[in-house]
Amino acid sequence: MNRTKQCTYPHIGTVTYTYRTGSKRITLRVKKDSSIHVTIPYLVRFSFAEDFVLSKINWIKKKIQENAERIKPITEFKSRHHLVRLQAESSLSKCKVIKNGTDVLLLYPSTADPTSYNIQLLTKKVITEVLRAEAKYYLPQKLKELATRHNFTYGRVTIRNAKSRWGSCSGKNNISLSLRLMFLPEHLIDYVLLHELCHTKEKNHGPRFWQMLDSVCQGNSKILSKELKRFPIPF
């Protein structure tokens, strides 16, 4: 059975120690929310684990600082049709989301830090759902328009929360699109959709594929491809 103990130290805060069956050595982790966790084998004395943590103070502080620098706090986000805003409320004990027309309010307790990991994580989840709703309305309609204009046919269209690619086309010509396309300017959305439509006829990236894509992009496929690479998929 696992046993847990918490201790608080100057400069790094609370450390959670857990005795865990099956552990063979002391392990130390600083998570993305900067919480500190130590796993201890059952036969190791607690003082040894604590000494190990104290010997790693500088490393822990560096990891906490890296986490803070990695997180770019969001207090307001404007999509195509919505405005997501954070707002403090003294009467709240936990976060609450309210939709008022095109405004989406994320209300949080006034005693909380809006830049904290948990509130920023919730903010990103709210933004993701706003983008999902907009993408489901906009992208299939745009795809159909481009397919009709350029004489393409395709199967099903799905909208996913893909973080590694903007879109894909299956062997059965089903097209999957990332809701994060909604971060892009319209001409790059068109480029991604045309790219996937071309894959309904050419499944690889050979010369015939690029020739086809170039013909539907007014000869700008390579330029648009390079421009797209400058837009990393956000969070």
pLDDT tens series, the chain, 235 aa: 678 999 999 989 999 999 998 889 999 999 988 899 999 998 899 999 999 999 999 999 999 888 877 767 899 999 999 999 999 999 999 999 999 999 999 999 999 999 888 899 899 999 999 999 999 999 999 999 999 999 999 999 999 999 889 999 999 999 999 999 999 999 999 999 999 999 999 999 999 999 999 999 999 999 999 999 998 877 7
CATH superfamily of domain region 132-229: Metalloproteases ("zincins"), catalytic domain (3.30.2010.10)
Q: Domain ranges in the chain?
A: 3-70, 76-129, 132-229
CA dihedral sign of residues 39, 42, 45, 46: positive
Question: Which contacts of 220-229 are long-range, i.e. CB under 8 A and separated by 24 or more positions?
Answer: 221/191, 224/187, 224/188, 224/191, 225/191, 227/188, 228/166, 228/184, 228/188, 228/191, 228/192
Considering the entire predicted model, what is its pTM?
0.72
The phi and psi torsions of 88 (rounded to 5 degrees) equal -80, 140
C-alpha–C-alpha distance, residues 127 and 173, integer Å: 29
